[in-house]
Structure 1
Amino acid sequence: MVPTGIGVAHLPNQRHKIVAKRGANFTLMVCGESGCGKTTFVNTLFTTTIKDPRKVEHRHKTTSTSSRSSSNDRTVEIEITQAELEESMFKVKLTVIDTPGFGDYVNNYDSWSPIVDFVDDQHESYMRQEQQPSRNGIIDRRVHACLYFIRPTGHSLKPLDIEVMKRLGSRVNLIPVIAKADTLTPKDLAAFKQKIMDVIKAQDIRVYSCPIDSDDEGTTQCNRDIMAAMPFSVIGSTQIVRTPDGRDVPGRAYSWGVAEVENEQHCDFKKLRNLIIRSHMLDLISTTEETHYESYRQQQMAVRKFGEPKQAKGENRKHRDKEDLLRKNFTEQVKQEETRFRKWEQQLMAERDRLNKDLEEQHAAIKALEGELDSVYRGAMRR
Structure 2
Amino acid sequence: MSSTSPSGVGIAHLPNQKHKIISKKGAHYTLMVCGESGLGKTTFINTLFATTIKDSRLPEKRFAKQLDKTVEIEVTKAELEEKLFKIKLSIIDTPGFGDYVNNRDSWIPIVDFIDDQHENYMRQEQQPTRHGKIDMRVHACLYFIRPTGHSLKPLDIEVMKRLGSRVNLIPVIAKADTLTPKDLAKFKENVREVIQQYNISVYACAVDSDDEDTTARNQNIVDASPYAVIGSTEIINIDGKQVRGREYSWGVAEVENDDHCDFKKLRNLLIRTHMLDLISSTEEMHYEHYRQQQMANRKFGEPKVPRTKKVENPKLREKEEELRKSFTEKVRDEESRFRQWEQQLIQERNRLNKDLESQHAHIKHLESELDNLYQHGRSGSMRR
Q: TM-score range by the shorter chain?
A: 0.7 to 0.9
Q: Matches of 2:320 and 2:272 in 1, distance apart?
A: 61
* Counterparts of 2:240 and 2:225, CA distance in 1: 31
Cα-to-partner distance string for 1:255-291 (whole Å, 9 max, x where unaligned): 0000000001000000000000000000000000000
Partner secondary structure for residue 117 of structure 1: helix
1:302 aligns with 2:305: no
1:96-107 alignment, distance < 5 Å: 96-107=91-102
* Separation of aligned partners in 1, 2:261 and 2:313: 50
* 1:70 corresponds to: none
Deviation per residue, 1:206-230 (Å, 9 max, x gap): 0001011111111111000000000
1:96-245 alignment, distance < 5 Å: 96-243=91-238, 245=239
Shift of 1:246: 2.9
Q: Is the 8 A contact 1:211 1:223 kept in 2?
A: yes
Q: Residue 25 of structure 1 corresponds to which residue in structure 2?
A: 28
- Residue identity opposite 2:258 in structure 1: E
Q: Which amino acid aligns with 1:56?
A: L
Name segments (4+ residues, structure 1) moved above 2 Å.
Answer: 323-332
Alignment partner for residue 11 of structure 2, among 8, 11, 18?
8
Query: 1:33 offset after TM fit, Å?
Result: 0.3
For residue 141 of structure 2, what is the amino acid of its counterpart?
A: C
- Which residue of the partner structure matches residue 352 of structure 1? none
2:57 corresponds in structure 1 to: 55
Letter in 1 for 2:291: R
> Quick one: structure 1 residues 5 and 242, their matched pair in 2 at CA, closer, same or farther if it must change by over 3 Å?
same
- Once the two structures are TM-superposed, the CA of residue 329 in structure 1 deviates from its matched residue by 5.4
The alignment's TM-score, normalised by the length of structure 2, stands at 0.80
| Contact 1:56/1:80 (8 A) holds in 2 | no
Name the residue aligned to 2:371: none
Letter matched to residue 328 of structure 1: R
Q: Shift of residue 64 of structure 1?
A: 1.3
- Alignment partner, residue 248 of structure 2: 254
Is this contact kept in 2: 1:150–1:179, CA < 8 A? yes
- Could you tell me which amino acid in structure 1 is paired with residue 300 of structure 2? F
For the Cα contact (< 8 Å) 1:23–1:92, is it kept in 2?
Answer: yes
State the Cα distance separating 1:327 from its structure 2 match: 7.5
Q: Which amino acid aligns with 1:185?
A: T
The alpha carbon displacement at 1:325 in A equals 6.0
Classify 1:260/1:124 alpha carbon distance in 2 versus 1 (closer, same or farther; 3 Å). same
Name 2:326's counterpart in structure 1: none
Q: State the partner residue of 1:357.
A: none
Take 1:298 and 1:132, find their aligned partners in 2: how far apart are those partners?
18
Q: 1:286 aligns with which of 272, 280, 283?
A: 280
**Structure 2 counterpart SS, 1:200:** helix
One-letter code of the match for 2:103? N
2:261 maps to amino acid: C
Render the CA deviation track for 1:77-135: whole Å, top value 9, x for unaligned: 10000001111111111000001111111111001111011101100111111111111
1:331 & 1:264 partners in 2: Cα distance? 54
The whole-number CA distance in structure 2 between the counterparts of 1:122 and 1:14 is: 30
Determine helix, strand or coil for the equivalent of 1:100: coil
SS at match of 2:101: coil
Structure with greater Cα Rg? 1
Opposite residue 234 of structure 1, the aligned amino acid is V
Q: Tell me which residue corresponds to 2:66.
A: 64
Q: 1:349 matched to which residue of 2?
A: none
Q: Is the 8 A contact 1:30 1:146 kept in 2?
A: yes
CA distance in 2, matches of 1:126, 1:47: 30
Going from structure 1 to structure 2, the CA distance change for 1:76 and 1:88 (only over 3 Å counts) comes to same
- TM-fit CA distance, 1:242: 1.8
CA distance in structure 2 between the aligned counterparts of 1:29 and 1:75, rounded to whole angstroms? 19
Change in 2 beyond 3 A, CA 1:134/1:36: same
Change (3 A) 1:246 1:109: same
1:45 to 43, 48, 54: 48
Task: Label 1:5 to 1:100 Cα distance change in 2 as closer, same or farther (>3 A).
Answer: same
Query: C-alpha offsets along residues 175-218 of structure 1, whole Å, 9 cap, x if unaligned?
Result: 00000000001111111101100111111100001011111111
Query: Aligned to 2:278, what secondary structure does the other structure show?
Result: helix
> Could you say what secondary structure the match of 1:55 adopts?
coil
Query: Is the 1:56–1:79 Cα contact (8 Å) retained in structure 2?
Result: no
C-alpha separation in 2, matches of 1:132 and 1:123: 15
Q: Name the count of aligned residue pairs.
A: 317
The one-letter amino acid of 1:283's match is D
Question: Partners of 2:320 and 2:108 in 1: how far apart?
Answer: 29
Q: Report if the CA contact (8 A) 1:148-1:176 is conserved.
A: yes
Q: 1:4 to 1:166 in 2, by over 3 A?
A: same
Distance 2:173 2:54 in 1: 20
Q: Deviations over 1:310-331 (max 9, x none)?
A: 1333xx44xx58x556983599
Asked if 2 retains the 8 angstrom alpha-carbon contact of 1:29 and 1:98, the reply is: yes
Structure 1 position 6, deviation (Å): 1.1
What's the secondary structure of 1:93's corresponding residue?
strand
TM-score (norm 1): 0.80
Q: 1:264 aligns with which of 239, 248, 258?
A: 258
One-letter code aligned to 2:317:
K
CA contact (8 A) 1:166 1:206 kept: yes
Structure 1 residue runs of 5 or longer lacking an equivalent are 66-72, 333-383
